[in-house]
Amino acid sequence: MKKLDLLEIREQLDGIDREIVVLFEKRMRLSGEVAEFKIETGKPVYDKEREMQKIDSVTGMVDDGFMKQAVSELFTQMMTISRHYQYKLMAEHGLKGEDTFRPVKTIPVTDARVVYQGVEGAYSHAAALQYFGSDKRFYHVVTFEDAMKEVESGRADYAVLPIENSSAGAVIDNYDLLMKYSNYIVAETFLSVDHALLGLPDASPEDLRTVFSHPQALMQCSEFLNDNRNWKQISVENTAAAAKKIIEDGDPSQAAVASETAARLYGLKVLKSSINHNKSNTTRFIILSNKRIYREDAQKVSISFELPHKSGTLYNILSNMIYNGISMIMIESRPIPGRNWEYRFFVDMEGNLSEPSIQNALKGILEEGRNMRVLGNY
């Protein structure tokens, strides 16, 4: 192709693009008029039926398979942008997506009753002490679910639950519990976790046959433990329970993976310090309350939603964040019980519930996804 031809074609493209922009602007103005109608009548922004008809009709105008796909993508994008514009107009009219959370200056902790899972000396206990300080009323329960029940019923003001570890990833059971109970995340605290190998005062590493701990702790120390293949690894409900078991059983062939605090608490010997392979091993704990409150200066919004098992649905939902300039910091998916191959997504994004961009994004996700819940702003 000659240089001159290229310039000519580009000139023609420029002319077409100018026309597209003019038409696009006209289309967006009409979309704004639809928004006014929807504000007056209370109709939702997202009209799935209408969008499907639109895609059918515009793809019907072209013959080629590639062009059908291209036209479908183009109009899906245009209608997505059109919806975001409508959400923006609605927010300006004061129709907010999520306004049932109450902002507070600080999370009230005076006389707080705080529940954690496990026993004294467990990492959850350490996280609770780290966040609340030692002068609060702490108590412990056997399972994470028990802790959720204590908060939902109001017997405890707050629960402290691990949600993510920097080397082993999400604590998935607790994501499922967030769905099952009406508790909200009001804060988080990061605990640096350093595991030790603990045995009876007269134990020595050569005699060890069995190691007990929480499955996450065993995973976090897998490089060290797998170098000692003759040790049987057994999971128990938490690291401090493992330490307690060693002292109660009195068997020098048994060891626990737990904190050095647990060693002091239960009178065990540290056979080896810091056996976790990731030396900056950190666990993120969430603080839960049954009140829908958030700190005025909160910076992270956690939500969950479900999507139909269809191509492009996650892409479209996430566009609610992209078009509102919101940065997503975490995404996890969990199977929906009883609905094979359908998933619930957990997303953390930067922002505060009082910001219009967050309100727009939430309104879009609420309308376009299924069962959206705001889990907290902290």
Catalytic residues: 283, 285
The answer to whether the Cα torsion of 267, 273, 277, 279 is positive or negative is: positive
User: To the nearest whole angstrom, how small is the minimum distance from the Cβ of residue 29 to ligand PRE?
Assistant: 11
Burial zone of 367 (CB within 10 Å; 0-12 exposed, 13-18 middle, 19+ buried) = middle
Of 83 and 363, which CB lies nearer to ligand PRE in the complex structure?
Answer: 83
| CB contact set of 81 (below 8 Å; sequence gap of 6+) | 28, 323
CA 115 to chain centroid, in Å, comes to 22
Considering only residues 185 through 224, tell me which ones interact with ligand PRE, judged by CB under 6 A. none
User: To the nearest whole angstrom, how small is the minimum distance from the Cβ of residue 87 to ligand PRE?
Assistant: 10
Which residue's structure tokens are 């190691």? 211
- Establish if 46 lies at the interface with ligand PRE (CB under 6 A): yes
**How open is the CA angle 243-246-252, to the nearest 5 degrees?**
135
- Establish if 47 lies at the interface with ligand PRE (CB under 6 A): yes
The answer to whether the Cα torsion of 268, 269, 272, 274 is positive or negative is: positive
Q: Which stretch binds ligand PRE (CB under 6 A): 45-53, 57-65, 249-257, 344-352?
A: 45-53
Q: Which stretch binds ligand PRE (CB under 6 A): 44-52, 108-116, 256-264, 329-337?
A: 44-52
Question: For every residue of 294-349, which 3-state class applies, written as one string?
Answer: EECCCCEEEEEEEECCCCCHHHHHHHHHHCCCCCEEEEEEEEECCEEEEEEEEEEE
- Establish if 83 lies at the interface with ligand PRE (CB under 6 A): yes
User: To the nearest whole angstrom, how small is the minimum distance from the Cβ of residue 226 to ligand PRE?
Assistant: 54
Structure token pair of residue 137: 């009323």
- Establish if 34 lies at the interface with ligand PRE (CB under 6 A): yes
- Establish if 50 lies at the interface with ligand PRE (CB under 6 A): yes
| Number of shown-chain residues binding ligand PRE (CB under 6 A) | 11
Which residue's beta carbon is nearest to the bound ligand PRE? Answer: 82
Considering only residues 85 through 104, tell me which ones interact with ligand PRE, judged by CB under 6 A. 86
- Establish if 332 lies at the interface with ligand PRE (CB under 6 A): no
- Establish if 82 lies at the interface with ligand PRE (CB under 6 A): yes
SS3 23: helix
- Establish if 58 lies at the interface with ligand PRE (CB under 6 A): no
Q: Report the alpha-carbon distance of residue 261 to residue 121 in Å, rounded.
A: 6
| CB contact set of 160 (below 8 Å; sequence gap of 6+) | 114, 115, 116, 124, 127, 128, 131, 147, 189, 285, 286, 287, 288
User: To the nearest whole angstrom, how small is the minimum distance from the Cβ of residue 99 to ligand PRE?
Assistant: 23
Considering only residues 218 through 277, tell me which ones interact with ligand PRE, judged by CB under 6 A. none
Q: Report the alpha-carbon distance of residue 196 to residue 155 in Å, rounded.
A: 34
- Cβ proximity of 366 and 98 under 8 Å: yes
- Establish if 367 lies at the interface with ligand PRE (CB under 6 A): no
User: To the nearest whole angstrom, how small is the minimum distance from the Cβ of residue 55 to ligand PRE?
Assistant: 10
User: To the nearest whole angstrom, how small is the minimum distance from the Cβ of residue 86 to ligand PRE?
Assistant: 6
Of 83 and 214, which CB lies nearer to ligand PRE in the complex structure?
Answer: 83
Contacts with ligand PRE, residue ranges (CB under 6 A): 31, 34, 46-47, 50-51, 54, 79, 82-83, 86
